[in-house]
Amino acid sequence: MNYVGNIIRPPSEHASLILQVTTGCSHNQCTFCGVYKEKKFTIKPLEIIKADLEEVQKYKIIYKRVFLADGDALIIPTDQLVKIIATVKSMLPTIRRVGVYANTKSILKKTLAELSELKRAGLGILYQGVESGNAEVLSRINKGATPQAIIEAVEKVKAAKMKLSQTYLLGVGGKEYSLAHAQDTGKLISQSVPNYVSLLTLMLLPNTPLFHSEIAGDFTLPSKLDLIKELKSIIENIQTDQNFIFTSNHASNYLPIFARFPVQQAEVLSQVTHLIKNFDEALLKPESMRAL
């Protein structure tokens, strides 16, 4: 496969074919993210994508899903992305769903008609990196989105009848904004109600501005206990009767959770509350087992 640099994908796409159709991220300015710092954003030529698909054909592996990497494949012009999806489905006819990372800006750049066209072509799920529901935190991490813009993007995705998975970052507000970050994140989830909500935990990488902010004393990562308190506050502030999957089972998380909200919300909240009252680091995932 013609992979350029390190490739990441959502945990739920672990069994999918990972097909790199762009390199890097079109935004690539988030202060916490070091994944794409060494890559310049480009859209791969269709000929290279076809060559990768021909290689996949040789392996005789039956894939039902494909994830189009890298960081923001939705930014590809709609006609070009439709052609890529059509090529994938033509060369791998067992594919039933296509997924991509999609930042808020790239969603809003698409018209509802374009998103609907992509849905018809086979694009079934978007993974939206939200990170926080707090406007100040979003500004500080240079996310390039506001809570209102995020809601507008969500409404557009839902109108196009696509599935939506949102990710949020525990700890991204630092110690200073920990409580506000958690409270507003719970409230934004309540307004968005995507199909899936995934919480990750911030891990500071040496090639990121946020890492250097910590070194300079301008950013302080919340303690393990405070991160669990953020988790509790997020859950407390989610108020909706609509069903969605809530997880914090990413490799970066200290406390793995997989639950159906709101059905299991009270049960999960009780579990987290009990952990806070009887806090013991031995009950958390060991640091050596955490990863991005």
pLDDT per residue as tens digits for the range 93-141: 999 999 999 999 999 999 999 999 999 999 999 999 999 999 999 999 9
In terms of C-beta density within 10 A (0-12 exposed, 13-18 middle, 19 or more buried), how is residue 240 classed?
middle
Residue 6 has pLDDT above 90, yes or no: no
pLDDT surpasses 90 at 292? no
233-290 per-position pLDDT tens digit: 999 999 999 999 999 999 999 999 999 999 999 999 999 999 999 999 999 999 999 9
Residues contacting 187, CB < 8 A, separation 6+: 133, 237
Place of tokens 């196009």: 160
Q: Count the neighbouring beta carbons within 10 Å of the beta carbon of residue 116.
A: 16
Residues ≥6 apart with Cβ < 8 Å to 84: 21, 46, 49, 68, 76
Q: What percent of the chain has pLDDT over 70?
A: 100
CATH of 11-278, one of 3.40.50.300, 3.20.20.70, 3.40.50.2300, 3.30.365.10: 3.20.20.70
Closest residue by Cα to residue 189 from 232, 133, 125: 133
Q: To the nearest whole number, what is the mean pLDDT of the chain?
A: 97
Query: What region, left, alpha or beta, does residue 229 occupy, with left being phi > 0 and alpha being psi -120 to 50 degrees?
Result: alpha
Would you call 87 helix, strand, or coil by DSSP? helix
Residue-wise pLDDT for 25-34, tens only, equals 999 999 999 9
Segment 172-186 mean pLDDT? 98
Q: What mean pLDDT do residues 36-51 have? A: 94
Under the banding of pLDDT at 50, 70 and 90, the label for residue 38 is confident
> In which band, very low, low, confident or very high, does the pLDDT at 46 lie, cut at 50, 70 and 90?
very high
Question: 70 φ, ψ to 5°?
Answer: -95, -120
Q: Which residue has the tokens 């694009």?
A: 123
CA atoms of 269 and 228, how far apart (whole Å): 11
What residue ranges do the domains of the chain occupy?
11-278
- 248: number of CA atoms within 13 Å, CB side? 24
- 6-15, 172-181, 183-192 — which is least confidently predicted? 6-15
> Which region among 5-9, 194-198, 258-262 has the lowest average model confidence (pLDDT)?
5-9
Q: Return the exposure string of 188-217: e unless at least 16 CB atoms fall within 10 Å of the residue's CB, then b.
A: bbeebbbbbbbbbbbbbeeebbbbebeeee
CA distances for 188 relative to 21, 31, 60, 130, 176, angstroms: 31, 21, 43, 10, 20
Phi-psi label, residue 219: left if phi above 0, alpha if psi -120 to 50, beta otherwise? beta
Structure tokens of 61? Answer: 């592996």
The Cα-based distances of 228 to 173, 271, 273, 279 in angstroms read 14, 11, 9, 10
* Residue 216, phi-psi category: left (phi > 0), alpha (psi -120 to 50), beta (remainder): alpha
Question: If pLDDT is split at 50, 70 and 90, which confidence band does 37 have?
Answer: confident
Q: What percent of the chain has pLDDT over 90?
A: 97
Distance separating alpha carbons of residues 171 and 108, to the nearest angstrom: 27
What integer pLDDT is reported at residue 27 of this predicted model?
95
Sign of the alpha-carbon torsion through 237, 27, 78, 97: negative
Rounded average pLDDT over 64-74: 96
